[in-house]
């Protein structure tokens, strides 16, 4: 099975030295284990987050604790009203691997030592630069597959070799762009395809160094063939970000905005998690020094690695409790809206793993969905 890129994540660099660093490593291992290996009941078990710092935003209260008797009246997996993790058995599930064979009825994933066979639904579709029949997927492609909730052996959606680059343009040579996704990730190369240049430049008119870009396309080793603009380009260069509006009082119980996804770095391919744009500055995230802004456009309280969010896809009405597994500094730079269903408020509030995005009903080639997050419910 293909593995993620061998690069350091922000989680690995956010912790302080000594005991804090050791604690952060333990928390991360427990989070990934809980996400990858669900309990026998089929639910992802919660992981106790580390103690929150006292340096949150002024006026931001701690997450509300359930009143006496309230916890007993709510059961895990009870949807938006529950306090436990959503039952992932009722959500779509994403699997990934190399395509060994495909026919109109069956998809085979795996490698020389292992394989998985999935029946395709009659209305199954694939994406390989554009929406196609599943038979257009080729052996050797890396595929992310959405399984049907009714059967773990039935697939209804395939994304082949899909990739995404989100960040700041640092160099341009013709139709090739070099993009920085942050201090903890290596530079990425985007080659904009001739047939897609018109579509992309309608939404990204300034393909020059210093401007933001968010492109979805076909992954070819370390290069992305840019095919789809994932959003519209902000009008400002990344070095001249407009300041978010000043606010006072308490943070709202829920926060609405745009949820996006990112390619795995050192994450396991199937991990369910979320990168959060407003990690507590006391964690010393390596991205803060480079990005220059510690808070995004949406009004969000500071959280620590290991905190738990209930993320709701407002377009599908699916929700799930997900652990915060990293920081999302590039998401802070965008004040765009998602228009998958209606128009979301400005600001990116969650950067999900591919598996988490698909599990909540997101379409990877759409790039985002309108989302609401609640903290520690």
Give the HSE-up count for residue 370: Cα atoms under 13 Å, Cβ half-sphere: 12
Tens-binned pLDDT, residue by residue, of the chain (377 aa): 444 444 333 333 333 334 344 445 545 555 555 555 544 334 443 434 444 433 333 333 333 443 433 333 333 333 443 434 445 555 778 899 999 999 999 999 997 678 899 999 999 999 999 999 999 999 999 999 999 888 889 999 999 999 999 999 999 999 999 999 887 788 999 999 899 999 999 999 999 999 999 999 999 988 999 999 999 888 888 878 776 654 555 667 789 999 999 998 777 777 889 999 888 777 656 554 455 555 566 778 888 888 999 999 999 999 999 999 888 888 888 989 999 999 999 889 999 999 999 999 999 999 999 999 998 76
- Residue 117: per-residue pLDDT: 94
Convert the pLDDT of each residue in 261-270 to its tens digit. Answer: 999 877 777 7
- Output the pTM of the full model: 0.75
Of 347, 348, 345, 338, nearest to 369 by C-alpha is 338
- Cα–Cα distances (Å) from 63 to 117, 256, 307, 308, in that order, read 43, 17, 10, 10
The reported pLDDT for the residue numbered 163 is 96
> Domains of the chain (ranges plus CATH)?
10-54+74-89+244-375 (2.40.40.10)
Beta-carbon count within 10 A of 144 CB: 22
If we measure between CA atoms, which residue out of 206, 205, 207, 230 comes closest to residue 217? 230
**Token couple for 154:** 């039935």
């Amino acid at each position: 099975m293909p593995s993620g890129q061998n690069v350091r994540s922000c989680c690995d660099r956010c912790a302080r030295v000594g005991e804090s660093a050791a604690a952060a490593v333990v928390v991360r291992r427990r989070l990934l284990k809980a996400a990858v290996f669900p309990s026998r009941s089929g639910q992802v078990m919660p992981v106790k987050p580390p103690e929150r710092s006292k340096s949150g935003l002024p006026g931001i209260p701690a997450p509300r604790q359930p009143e006496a008797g309230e916890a007993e009246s709510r059961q895990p997996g009870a949807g938006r009203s529950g306090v436990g993790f959503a039952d992932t058995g009722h959500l779509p599930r994403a699997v990934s691997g190399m395509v060994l064979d495909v026919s109109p009825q069956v998809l085979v994933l795996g490698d020389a030592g292992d394989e998985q066979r999935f029946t395709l639904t009659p209305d199954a579709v694939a994406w390989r630069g554009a929406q196609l029949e599943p038979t257009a997927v080729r052996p050797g492609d890396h595929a992310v597959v959405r399984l049907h909730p009714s059967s773990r052996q039935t697939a209804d959606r395939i994304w082949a070799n899909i990739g995404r680059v989100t960040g700041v343009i640092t160099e341009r040579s013709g139709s090739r762009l070099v993009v920085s996704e942050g201090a903890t990730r290596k530079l990425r190369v985007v080659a904009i395809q001739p047939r897609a240049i018109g579509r992309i430049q309608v939404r990204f008119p300034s393909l020059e160094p210093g401007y933001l870009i968010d492109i979805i396309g076909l992954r070819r080793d370390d290069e992305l063939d840019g095919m789809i603009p994932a959003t519209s380009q902000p009008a400002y260069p990344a070095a001249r970000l407009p300041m978010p509006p000043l606010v006072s009082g308490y943070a709202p119980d829920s926060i609405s905005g745009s949820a996006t996804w990112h390619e795995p770095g050192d994450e396991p391919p199937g991990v369910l998690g979320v990168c959060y744009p407003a990690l507590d500055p006391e964690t010393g995230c390596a991205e803060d020094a480079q990005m220059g802004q510690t808070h995004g456009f949406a009004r969000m309280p500071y959280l620590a690695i290991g905190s738990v969010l209930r993320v709701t896809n407002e377009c599908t009405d699916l929700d799930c409790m997900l652990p915060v597994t990293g920081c999302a500094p590039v998401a802070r730079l965008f004040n765009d809206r998602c228009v998958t269903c209606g128009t979301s408020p400005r600001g990116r509030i969650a950067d999900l793993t591919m598996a988490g995005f698909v599990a909540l009903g997101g379409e990877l080639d759409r790039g985002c969905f309108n989302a609401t997050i609640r903290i520690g419910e």
